Chain A
């Protein structure tokens, strides 16, 4: 997996690390059970502070996406084929952020059709298991 970050960009670096890994899990690049570099190694490879990577990994662990063991390093816990979310509260939180994101597009004057086209293009890039799971992904209330 290639993990690009913009160290001088507006988004905090830990957030960028977390976002890129979430995207890799959704697109099937990092399926459940696959490993990620240790915090120390990723910090060296990105040239950023050890604590920054730790913060990004910790966010993923709290979301239930990553398991961090002392010996095994960081392992992906869930992917699109792992079934419905473990914590229903996550969906509410996600729906609130999605609402803001879609509102930004509407406020800028994008049409509903344009917004839907972008959503469909994004979803087309995700690695849903064959049969059924797309419906459950769409069932998360707009």
Chain B
């Protein structure tokens, strides 16, 4: 069930990625502000949607129609195939736009600039600590329920996967471990994002800084609410394992799905870096001297979506294709961050397996 939902969610985000991306980086190609509505870009938006929508629909349908007894890796294979197909569509669109951009010399006569706002560091946005409260409440409720229920549990537990296993503290409190990991992970990532550089438009730095500030606040609140939703899903799964509540198959996943939809809705409404929010920019040209554009930095974006820049000390930067942030793979600390995100679940399951061996 969770794997099917992942295939569907990945499909939605991949089909919508060009809609939420900044207009000055369509399909990962940097273009000057006045070229964002160029015919080639509009055509490629249509082509991309026509190619990826069927891919996403078919993958999601396939994942949901799999028989319940299908191999565990089948939904994951579908997910990987879906990702590869959509990334191939991205490459096709990107190449077409790059070819026209180079042939017509879109950046000729532009000042290519990068701009820093020193005021951002002097008065940085404040992390919305209070929005951690819902997640804490859910985790505390889960711990309390587990502790109260533990003495009365039978010798064997039926996990949400349907497996029957002997009772042990690690298995009983697995939902709490997952909750702490998810909440901690997202809080940690958000804290790094708060220290990352703001995504400013060189043509319109002040207005884009204001928009980015609003965007960051909204994203942090939504992600923390999402963490609380995931924690709630874990609590519902726990209640089922602890035989306190008889819930039909997919019901515990409803908070998780609601949280994911809230994130998608926010990204569509605000756009990457908040480019759809007020105050809107003036399109860049002040009328005197050459027009300012963001630096043409395509060479640092491999395939239009992987950022590799060894000279850039940034750990995380604003994503190009889609909304949110990505790691600078040219920074060794970026690889450490990826490892810190990926390793704990594997390490945890290995420890649990060793405990029960």
A interface residues with partner B (beta carbon < 8 Å): 1-9, 35-38, 40-50
Contact = CB atoms under 8 A, between A and B. Distances in A.
B314 A2 contact: no
A42 B121 CA distance: 9
Given A3-B115, A4-B113, A40 B121 contact: no
Contacts of A9: 111-112
Contacts of B115: 2-5
Nearest to A17: B116
Contacts of B114: 4-7, 46-48
A13 to B, nearest CB: 9
Interface stretch (B3-11, B95-103, B176-184, B305-313): B305-313
Contact of A49 (B116, B119, B121, B313): B313
A1 B119 contact: yes
Contacts of B116: 2-5, 37, 42, 45-46
Given A2-B115, A6-B295, A8-B296, 15 more contacts: A2-B118, A3-B115, A3-B116, A4-B114, A4-B202, A4-B205, A5-B113, A36-B118, A42-B116, A43-B313, A44-B197, A45-B116, A45-B118, A46-B114, A49-B311
In order of increasing CB-CB distance, the 6 nearest A-B pairs are A45-B116, A4-B115, A37-B121, A47-B312, A3-B116, A45-B197
A78 B114 CA distance: 27
B168 interface: no
A41 B196 CA distance: 9
Interface string B312-334: 11100100000000000000000
Nearest to A74: B118
B313 A50 contact: yes
B117 interface: yes
Contact of A8 (B112, B197, B205): B112
Contacts of A1: 117-119
Interface of B: 111-122, 196-198, 202, 205-206, 292, 295-296, 309, 311-314, 317
B313 A42 contact: no
B284 to A, nearest CB: 13
15 contacts: A2-B116, A2-B117, A4-B292, A5-B115, A7-B112, A8-B112, A8-B296, A35-B122, A36-B118, A42-B118, A44-B314, A45-B117, A47-B311, A47-B314, A48-B114
A47 B121 CA distance: 15
Contacts of B120: 45
A45 to B, nearest CB: 4
B106 to A, nearest CB: 15
Nearest to A47: B312
A40 B119 contact: no
A108 to B, nearest CB: 17
Given A1-B119, A42-B118, A47-B309, A6 B112 contact: yes
A4 B198 CA distance: 14
A44 B113 contact: no
A50 B314 CA distance: 10
B299 to A, nearest CB: 10
A37 B313 contact: no
A44 to B, nearest CB: 5
Contacts of B296: 8
A6 B121 contact: no
A45 B196 CA distance: 8
Given A4-B202, A8-B112, A48 B314 contact: no
A7 B295 contact: yes
